[in-house]
Amino acid sequence: MLHNTYNRNYQLNYDKLVNQLREENKILRLEAEDIRQKLQDAQGDNQVLRTGGFVKDCINTILTSSDSKEELVKNLEIIHSKYQQLKLDFGLLLDDKQELITERDGVRSKIRRLNYQLAASLNANKNQCILDIDSILLENKYLNERLQLEIAEKEMLRKTNSLYQNTSKTNDDLSLLSANNSITRKVLACKQMQQILETGNLQALFSNSTTLADLRKLCQTLFEALQDKSIALNHQKKTNKVLAKRLEDLENKLKTINHGEAIMSPSLVLLNECSNTSDETDIETSSIDESNTCLIYKEDESIIKNINFDKYPNEMNTLPKNLQQLVSEAMQTITIDSSNHSNPSTSTKACLSSTSDINI
């Protein structure tokens, strides 16, 4: 009995405790929901206050800064003017680019024409399609400088020759013996001067009038020799400068070698750029030039045939043998060329093939 009553009391207390805990849990849940709602309301109020303050600040800044709109308009006008200026500059750059392209095309066509004429004048091989005009011009410049130096040396030699001729004319009246005596006397005088200078007796130089005269002559000859040496040294310096320029150009060419292949000159670059695009205008002009050359050769052939060299036997016979052989060889080549150019179709074909080779 006691045990049953104890169990009943324990069960009642346990039920009460569970009910209390459930009620407390419900109360705590309600309080947590209230707190969450308050937190959300506070966050919303903060956002509203922040947005309202930002809008108020913006309105205050717009109202307070009355000159800001004018400054913005001024800045907008300045930016617009800069934009227009940049637009104009861009258009000018495009025009300059187009002019440079047209100039490049003109230079390219000129180089091609010069290359064709140079190859025709030099009778170049068909395999050698491209000739480096820049290297030829550089070689021409070098040869011109060397020619100027040779002309200057020739002028110097002419002056020295005239000087020696004048001195020889003054000594023509003297005989050979007197000349030999004077030479031996000068040699002896030079030896005496050397001995006196080695001994150190300078008073003996000024004691005799003959020694003074010999000293004057010796100084004069030494001065002339020094002048000649200085002129020769100046010419040698000039030649060394020319050779140094030549070596510098060659070193620059060697420095431009890239992977075993030298970087080409501008003319070769332009020719290689336009090698794939052959112009029909060049072919037409070459055919027209060929027809004109054929007509000129026909006229020359008719003129040569009409000339009768029997009328001028003396003129032909009076020439030297070498010149006469050269004239006969030239006449033979002219007749061969005229016979070759008598067929215009073959010549035009040859011209077209040569132009195609050059374009390739």
Q: Would you say the C-alpha torsion 133, 136, 137, 138 has a positive or negative sign?
A: positive
| Rounded average pLDDT over 237-246 | 79
What would the two tokens of residue 312 be?
A: 């001028």
- Among 77-91, 210-224, 247-261, top mean pLDDT goes to 77-91
- What pLDDT score was predicted for residue 344? 42
| Rounded average pLDDT over 190-206 | 60
Q: Confidence band (pLDDT; 50, 70, 90) for 354? A: very low
| Rounded average pLDDT over 144-170 | 78
- Among 26-30, 68-72, 137-141, 347-351, top mean pLDDT goes to 26-30
What would the two tokens of residue 333 be?
A: 């080549």
Residue 246 burial (CB count, 10 A):
16
Instruction: From residue 15, give the alpha-carbon distance in Å to each of 21, 46, 80, 84.
Output: 10, 47, 86, 91
Does residue 341 have a pLDDT over 50? no
- What pLDDT score was predicted for residue 324? 56
What SS3 class is residue 262?
Answer: strand
| d(C-alpha 112, C-alpha 196), whole Å | 76
Rounded to 5 degrees, φ, ψ at 130 are -115, 130
**So where are the chain's domains?**
1-64, 68-131, 133-263, 278-359
What residues have CB less than 8 Å from 238, skipping those under 6 apart?
149, 152
Which pTM does this prediction carry? 0.29
- What pLDDT score was predicted for residue 297? 46
Question: What are the start-end ranges of the E strands in the chain?
Answer: 257-258, 261-262
| d(C-alpha 360, C-alpha 351), whole Å | 14
- What pLDDT score was predicted for residue 93? 92
- What pLDDT score was predicted for residue 266? 56
Max CA separation in the chain (angstroms): 186
First to last CA, the chain: 130
What would the two tokens of residue 309 be?
A: 């060299």
Question: What are the start-end ranges of the E strands in 82-170?
Answer: none
Does residue 90 have a pLDDT over 90? yes
Helix, strand, coil abundance in the chain, percent, nearest 5: 85, 0, 10
| Rounded average pLDDT over 86-109 | 89
| d(C-alpha 97, C-alpha 99), whole Å | 5
* Type of residue found at 278: S
- What pLDDT score was predicted for residue 228? 78
Strands 261-262 and 257-258: antiparallel
Does residue 4 have a pLDDT over 70? no
| d(C-alpha 281, C-alpha 73), whole Å | 58
Q: What percent of the chain has pLDDT over 70?
A: 46
Does residue 197 have a pLDDT over 50? yes
| d(C-alpha 130, C-alpha 50), whole Å | 81
* Type of residue found at 252: N
- Angle, CA of 251, 257 and 263, to the nearest 5°: 105
